Structure 1
């Protein structure tokens, strides 16, 4: 049927008042205009919807059934249009969030609590991987934003929230802690577990050794998620390069310890990365929440006492 929602609304008012003149006053329309509305509806239905009763109108049997169905159509229409308004306002919808291993532990709980507390109509779809993989997923339109390490490229937009320090670390009983002051040139002699060569922190660490004319650390084990295998690091004689946030996280249970060395202390920023151009409303709303609330929720893990600066 080719029926306009406006005509359904007029029909409901006419049926409720049972009088064409009163309906015209309420709707601020002329009686001839409402008569044409009834005629259009009756033409689509193929039967009379009203019959005369004194100076007013009453519904026919078909009209009563049409009224019940029209009410459902109008209610569904109002509900879906209201949902659309909520969607445009960013209070409903799905946000596809990519997280690095560090931010999955540290920032993701904060994001989830912000959404649940302020916009429970927003749902999250979370993917955990390395930053370079997540950026490729944004390019493929399979992610809306990344919560992780913020880089300086111009391809995406970035907002940094906190500083993060990445250091060389090992299990608490690693032999390196028995030799007193550690020097950079001693580190290539040890076995390492490292991110793969595409990860930014690995590139930075390699460059440090190359700048000092030293061989790069040899990775006996490579992984895309160092924080997830802290038990392996803690139970072996492997050095690693990971965030102090991981060292301070309860899940490490004091297994790991920092190898204090100025040259291998990297400071980076954590925050959000998202595409340039227009965003889905729910994504824009989540970015707004993070921008507004992160100072009161996100703290910086302090440096270990005695670290050379």
Structure 2
């Protein structure tokens, strides 16, 4: 059964006159007559009967009109939904966020989605970039908001400059010394990300490349930005984004141990597999890119 025949039928039923329906639809009367014949043959029943100079629906025709309108309405809504999906204004985007970007980028991302794409929903997973990349590979995520790299497997689109430094509680004994060097950092125990995390690898290499022992790790965690109270209440050293050290949630508990050798410059942004973005995910990236471009001006 052709949708075009259903639309013609609905117009004929509404106008109750083949001539007027032909004018409204810009079709010939014979074409509309054939349309009715096709539908009646498919249903095995008459749809119209003569009434004065016009026509009217039979009992079967009246019931079929209700069905035809439901079919047409469902089709129209489905096409509108698909158009919105293709334009990126509808759909679900599965977003993975690292601990840092969950605090600093995710709120901005959610605000942009709420303001500009009311029919797009988000599904958010918080984890380390190492874990989230595996979720991307398994098609459990559309994109990651986290630390970007030169990894050729993924598309990396940077938005924000980030600095990772050694930090400690503000009244830590290390601040009583002047001219703190790498060897001085080895006098204390640390709380660090797990060994497979990129920032941990970088820090370990800083010491190893200078023929020094690696930091003595007392606690390993994949949620380092969330344990500022622990860091602020112990003599443990940590390796944190400056965004976390300076964030109001740290309540001034933490202070940077300024040392050039242990200052990591990196970028935060979007990570995804080539050729996998949905239109809604593409729209989300466009919004985030415009936001940070405008903020930089």
TM over 0.5: yes
The question of 1:286 aligning with 2:291 is answered no
Report the counterpart of residue 26 of structure 1 in structure 2: 24
Aligned match for 2:190, one of 192, 198, 206: 192
Q: Does 1:9 align with 2:7?
A: yes
1:292, 1:179 → 2: CA distance? Answer: 45
Residue 198 of structure 1 and its aligned partner are, at CA, apart by 0.4
Q: Distance in 1 between matches of 2:160 and 2:237?
A: 26
Give the one of 77, 82, 93 matched to 1:84. 82
- Match 1:247 to one of 222, 242, 245: 245
Q: What runs of 5+ residues in structure 1 fail to find an aligned partner?
A: 300-309
Q: Could you state the TM-score of these two structures normalised by the residue count of structure 1?
A: 0.93
Give unpaired runs (5+ residues) of structure 2: none
Decide which moves more: 125-134 or 177-186: 177-186
Counterpart for residue 66 of structure 1: 64
Native 8 Å contact 2:49 2:55 kept in 1: yes
Question: How far, CA to CA, are the matches of 2:88 and 2:164 in structure 1?
Answer: 35
| Cross-structure match for 1:305 | none
81-90 vs 17-26, which moves further? 17-26
Matches within 5 A, 1:207-226: 207-226=205-224
Please give the secondary structure, in 2, of the residue aligned with 1:148: strand
Deviation at 1:65, TM superposition (A): 1.9
Deviation at 1:153, TM superposition (A): 1.2
- What are the residue-to-residue correspondences of 1:293-304 with 2, within 5 Å? 293-297=291-295
**2:42 corresponds to which residue?**
44
Q: Please give the secondary structure, in 1, of the residue aligned with 2:228.
A: helix
Looking at structure 2, the residues matched to 287 and 70 of structure 1 have their Cα atoms a distance apart, in angstroms, of 40
SS of residue matched to 2:146: strand
Secondary structure of residue in 2 paired with 1:81: helix
Correspondence for 2:110: 112
> In the alignment, what sits opposite 1:258?
256
Deviation at 1:186, TM superposition (A): 1.3
1 CA distance for matches of 2:295 and 2:144?
19
Deviation at 1:24, TM superposition (A): 1.9
SS in 1 for 2:102: helix
How much has 1:278 moved relative to structure 2? 4.5
Alpha-carbon distance, 1:206 to partner: 0.7
Residue 181 of structure 1 and its aligned partner are, at CA, apart by 2.5
- Between the aligned partners of 2:240 and 2:69, the Cα distance in structure 1 is 61
2:96 counterpart SS class: strand
SS at the partner of 1:36?
A: helix
Name the SS of the counterpart of 1:189 in structure 2: coil
Q: Report deviation, 1:128.
A: 0.8
CA displacement, residues 1-35 of structure 1 (integer Å, 9 cap, x when unaligned):
xx221111000111111111222222222222211
Tell me the TM-score normalised to structure 2 length. Answer: 0.96
Q: Is the 8 A contact 1:162 1:298 kept in 2?
A: no
Q: In 1, Cα distance between the equivalents of 2:250 and 2:290?
A: 31
> Contact between 1:110 and 1:297, CA under 8 Å: does it hold in 2?
no
1:307 alignment counterpart: none
